[in-house]
């Protein structure tokens, strides 16, 4: 029986690792990661506290927690890179990525062939654009899935597309992400990146359509809501400064008008 988020948290609070079912918890964390919004990614991390991460039975849940944190770091990096004041956000994204990697390292040392561990490592490498190392890790993860009778892992596809797209022009990125989204409807971080790529190309209506589909799948995606509001906001009003035609001499005494002289006074005609 699958755990709900609330029941998993309650079980951990009341009884520790013994109260959580390892496979169900791992699936819950991965499902939250697929939603892609910051709140879900934070909840995914919170579901696997340190005592569980040290338990070999919860290796898959711990690896999925690292995957969620890699996604959170990548999302923060994307948002910060698009902001003129994003330097602090970029530093925070790098720090979060390194923290998640430190959590994943002991899992890789202990069981590098575990499909969940290989999946998380593949996502780390893919989001970093490391296509060379990713190839071997992806084969390991896919082999593990095949031996377990599972289908090919969509997250490996996500990692590979992310690695290829890193550093490409927006037009190329848009094509890659659009194809991925068509193949894997449920991995919403790719939809958010696709919307940003379409914005960069000036394809406002396509970006809005992508965000509309994302919010239909996850109405609580605050980052998508903010991006949609930005696209729908009216353009800023431009103040037009009147231009004085060339050749018109400036006034001799600016700011003063000639005084009207009444009849009968000195100087009147």
Q: Give me the pLDDT at residue 97, please.
A: 96
Task: Supply 193's token pair.
Answer: 């990146």
Residue range(s) defining the domain that contains residue 110: 22-167
Q: Give me the pLDDT at residue 88, please.
A: 94
Q: Give me the pLDDT at residue 63, please.
A: 96
Residues 83, 89 contacting (CB under 8 angstroms): yes
Query: How many angstroms separate the CA atoms of 92 and 12, rounded?
Result: 29
Residues 48 and 153 in one domain: yes
Residues 182 and 163 in one domain: no
Residues 6+ apart with CB under 8 A from 185: 217
Q: Is residue 115 part of a domain?
A: yes
Query: How many angstroms separate the CA atoms of 20 and 67, rounded?
Result: 20
Boundary residue ending a domain (112, 139, 167): 167
Helical H segments across the chain, by residue range:
5-15, 22-35, 38-46, 50-53, 59-81, 87-110, 115-127, 131-147, 154-165, 170-183, 188-200, 204-217, 222-232
Residues 112, 144 contacting (CB under 8 angstroms): no
Span between the terminal Cα atoms of the chain, in Å: 106
Cα 137 to Cα 142, 188, 231, distances in angstroms: 9, 23, 38
In this model, does residue 247 exceed pLDDT 60? yes
In this model, does residue 8 exceed pLDDT 60? no
Residues 35 and 160 in one domain: yes
Residues 146 and 37 in one domain: yes
Residues 92 and 190 in one domain: no
Residues 182 and 68 in one domain: no
- Sole residue written with tokens 């593990």: 144
Q: Is residue 240 part of a domain?
A: no
Cα 11 to Cα 4, 6, 8, 233, distances in angstroms: 10, 9, 5, 44
Count of domains for the chain: 2
Q: Is residue 59 part of a domain?
A: yes
Tens digit of pLDDT for each residue in 119-135? 999 999 999 988 888 88
User: What's this model's pTM, rounded to 2 decimal places?
Assistant: 0.78
Boundary residue ending a domain (167, 183, 215): 167
Average pLDDT over every residue of 166-191: 94
Q: Is residue 258 part of a domain?
A: no
Q: Is residue 263 part of a domain?
A: no
19-28, 103-112, 199-208: least confident range: 19-28
Residues 79 and 115 in one domain: yes
| Between residues 113 and 150, the one the model is more confident about | 113
1-10, 164-173, 217-226, 260-269: least confident range: 1-10
Q: Give me the pLDDT at residue 12, please.
A: 46
Comparing CA positions, the residue from 188, 164, 159 lying closest to residue 175 is 164
Query: What are the backbone dihedrals phi and psi of residue 248, each rounded to the nearest 5 degrees, phi first?
Result: -80, 120
Average pLDDT over every residue of 94-111: 95
Residues 130 and 188 in one domain: no
Residues 214 and 123 in one domain: no
Residues 213 and 99 in one domain: no
- In 3-state terms, what secondary structure has residue 219? coil
| Between residues 188 and 255, the one the model is more confident about | 188
Q: Is residue 250 part of a domain?
A: no
Query: How many angstroms separate the CA atoms of 192 and 7, rounded?
Result: 29
Residues 157 and 29 in one domain: yes
Boundary residue ending a domain (134, 167, 200): 167
Q: Is residue 5 part of a domain?
A: no
Q: Is residue 245 part of a domain?
A: no
Residues 49 and 160 in one domain: yes
Residues 6+ apart with CB under 8 A from 177: 161, 165, 190, 193, 194, 197
| Between residues 78 and 12, the one the model is more confident about | 78
Q: Give me the pLDDT at residue 194, please.
A: 96
CA atoms within 13 A on the CB side of 47: 36
């Amino acid at each position: 029986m699958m755990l709900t988020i609330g029941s998993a948290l309650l079980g951990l609070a009341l009884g520790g690792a013994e109260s959580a079912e390892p496979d169900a918890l791992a699936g819950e964390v991965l499902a939250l990661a697929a939603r892609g919004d910051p709140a879900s990614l934070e909840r995914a991390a919170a579901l696997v506290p340190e005592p569980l991460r040290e338990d070999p039975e919860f290796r898959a849940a711990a690896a999925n927690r690292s995957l969620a944190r890699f996604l959170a770091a990548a999302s923060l990096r994307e948002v910060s890179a698009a902001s003129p004041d994003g330097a602090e956000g970029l530093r925070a994204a790098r720090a979060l990525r390194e923290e998640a990697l430190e959590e994943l390292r002991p899992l890789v040392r202990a069981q590098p062939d575990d499909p969940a561990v290989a999946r998380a490592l593949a996502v780390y490498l893919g989001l970093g654009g490391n296509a060379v190392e990713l190839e071997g890790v992806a084969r390991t993860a896919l082999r593990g899935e095949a031996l377990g009778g599972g289908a090919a892992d969509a997250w490996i596809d996500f990692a590979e597309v992310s690695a290829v797209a890193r550093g490409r022009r927006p037009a190329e990125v848009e094509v890659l992400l659009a194809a991925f989204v068509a193949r894997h409807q449920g991995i919403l971080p790719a939809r958010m990146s696709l919307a940003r790529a379409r914005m960069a190309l000036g394809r406002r209506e396509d970006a809005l359509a992508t965000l509309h589909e994302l919010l239909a799948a996850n109405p609580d995606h605050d980052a998508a809501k903010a991006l949609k509001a930005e696209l729908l906001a009216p353009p800023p009003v431009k103040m037009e400064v009147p231009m004085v035609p060339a050749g018109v001499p400036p006034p001799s005494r600016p700011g003063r008008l000639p005084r009207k002289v009444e009849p009968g006074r000195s100087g009147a005609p």
